Chain A
Amino acid sequence: MIENHISLLLVVIPLIAAPIAAILPWGRASWMLTLVVTSACFVLAGLQLWAVVHNGAISYELGGWAPPWGIEYRIDALNALVALIVSAIAAITVPYALLSAEKEIPKQQIPLFYSAFLLCFAGLLGITQTGDIFNVFVFLEISSLSSYALISLGQRRQALTSAYQYLIMGTLGATFFLIGVGLIYAQTGTLNMMDLAQRLPEVTSLKTVHTGFAFIMIGFALKLALFPLHLWLPNAYTYAPTVITVFLAATATKVALYVMLRILFTVFPDGFVSVTPTGDLFLLSGIAGVLTASVYAIYQMNVKRLLAYSSVAQIGYMAMGIGFASFKGVTATIIHLFNHALMKGALFMAVGAIIYRIGACRMDNIEGLGRQMPWTFGAIVIAGLSLIGVPGTAGFISKWYLVLAALEQQAWLSVGVILFGSLLAVVYMGKVIEALYFKPASEANLSVKEAPILLLAPTWVLVFANIYFGLNAEFTVGIAEHAARALGVAAK
């Protein structure tokens, strides 16, 4: 009985839990509730992925209304995977949140903090589950509005201005998406993605559809922080509470990327990307993003901001995969989507552990801490190697498939950019490691102790995941290929 409703439960459980978390009198009670909810969602998302891989796509009719009239939740391997990533990261972040949030957020705001976290979680899961394009907009705004509030909870006052900046950019992006959906609705008269996929081929030559498509892409490029529309991201990630940085860096951009993939390859007919300049634009913005953001990252003095710029660069790699518009390219994008969540999650968590101990993460503050906090330092080194793409780590698998996709099209420039980008990652991660280990510790840093186990355990879960998925790529690659097929990208 319950297994038929997994798709809906994934969205409804956190949505119902959010107001409950807000009215609970103690912060720890809200935390407990959030922990139970996110773990339950993790299990459900795992079951859902298993069901999709073994029994094929799930179609869930909300309220029993048949699509395309009613809202349909349609789950295939791709959204099942993204839902699993979101709920897994949430389930790992929440144990970490207990101490980190108590340190960074005023006590009376903690129940509200978990409430907004659950809302954001529900919104992100909703985007992945739904098969209705207008529903995507609604869930997008649920997750965005709660993430603006969460970012503004940061300790420094810049958190407020960066939340405001993100609100303006995010709302512009969402409204652009709304315009695009309206224009496409005007031509097709439907909002259901599968129905759109059937009706769009007849009208793809119309200017209205092209305009709508462009609006949707720009709208989501803003949400995804695709270069050069990434300006909100470094500030938001730097000043948000650490837990939120971990969660958003590992999930929000991934979900936005998922929507892009869905619209590019499922909703619009196969080949639309290559007929229009879309593919080239993705490739161009990906290449520019990888190079520019990596160079910016090298010059950052704040470790969180450095990692934020590195995120923009990693999004560039994913955009390049889309730009190839081939089966291999999209597979590489999906693999990197999964692996990047693991490595950025681990890195931001480790930096959060440093912030927990010394209250800052500027390069000059963290000097010599590697010897005082060996486990945190180890996590940064391994996750950093994964970010660079050293064999034996998850990052290598992503880069390998991305290079294969580029070689298939003999895009030598792209191959060069991917390899050069990794070299730049060596430089900026090297800078962090140098400051942590090779610089002498200041007086104050000598007495710093290792971070508490509650912060280290979640970090190391992600670090081990980086190694495990680096050595055993069967799961990631299998699911990614399954997902690329489900998207409707023709295998060549």
Chain B
Amino acid sequence: MDFVLGHYNYWIAIFLMMVGFYTVISRGNLVKKIVGLNVFQVSVFLLYISIGTVTGGAAPIITQGIKLYSNPLPHVLILTAIVVGVATTALGLALVVRIKEAYGTIEEDEIHEQDHSL
């Protein structure tokens, strides 16, 4: 039981990861797929932030009288990954707009049908 409760942050990350991944795979709507992709990416951000925590450590800002800090490196890495995530979302949505213009729909099965009825 301690194992389960003590690692609750990891369970949350895994849960979000699976929710996001499942959404990407199962949804036919192109926007929903991007939403799923976002949830999937955010779960990885949480995983990294969890890794950076040091038990009993303070926020990594130099203050007098504090000896133990959390590891700031994962935070910096995740800042980069967030930027990458934003760029991916923007590009993905731009593609969805263009697909809507070209096909008149953003449902995967309808797009598929149009491509094969030619």
Contacts and interface: CB of A to CB of B under 8 A. Distances in A.
Contact of A152 (B33, B80, B88, B98): B98
B37 A171 contact: yes
Nearest to B108: A161
Contact of A168 (B33, B99, B102): B33
Interface stretch (A43-51, A177-185, A348-356, A360-368): A177-185
Nearest to B88: A171
A377 interface: no
B44 A145 contact: no
A166 B10 CA distance: 29
Interface stretch (B1-9, B61-69, B89-97): B89-97
B59 interface: no
A161 B91 contact: no
Contacts of B96: 164
Interface in B18-64: 21, 24, 30, 33, 37, 40-41, 44, 47-48, 51
A46 to B, nearest CB: 32
A160 interface: yes
A163 B95 contact: yes
A161 B30 CA distance: 10
A167 B102 contact: no
Interface string A66-92: 000000000000000000000000000
A175 B44 contact: yes
A134 interface: yes
A54 interface: no
Contacts of B44: 175, 178-179, 182
A172 interface: yes
A152 B98 CA distance: 9
Contact of B47 (A134, A152, A158, A179): A179
A207 interface: no
A186 B40 contact: no
A178 B92 contact: no
A175 B40 contact: yes
Interface string A137-174: 11001000100110010000110110110011001101
Contact of A167 (B47, B48, B80, B95): B95
Contacts of B41: 171, 175
Nearest to A148: B91
B18 to A, nearest CB: 12
Interface in A171-202: 171-172, 174-175, 178-179, 182, 185-186
B12 interface: no
A68 to B, nearest CB: 11
Contacts of B98: 152, 160
A12 to B, nearest CB: 18
Contact of A172 (B37, B77, B84, B99): B37
B30 to A, nearest CB: 7
Which of A164, A168, A179 lies at the interface centre, i.e. has the most chain B CB atoms within 10 A of its CB?
A164
B34 to A, nearest CB: 8
A182 B47 contact: yes
A157 B40 contact: no
- Residue with the highest number of chain B CB atoms closer than 10 Å, among A149, A163, A171, A174: A171
Nearest to A135: B80
Contact of B103 (A141, A157, A172): A157
13 contacts: A134-B77, A145-B84, A145-B91, A157-B102, A160-B95, A160-B99, A168-B37, A171-B41, A175-B41, A175-B44, A178-B81, A179-B17, A179-B47
Interface of B: 17, 21, 24, 30, 33, 37, 40-41, 44, 47-48, 51, 74, 77, 80-81, 84, 87-88, 91-92, 95-96, 98-99, 102-103, 111, 115
Given A160-B98, A168-B33, A179-B44, 8 more contacts: A138-B80, A148-B91, A161-B99, A164-B92, A167-B92, A171-B88, A175-B44, A179-B17
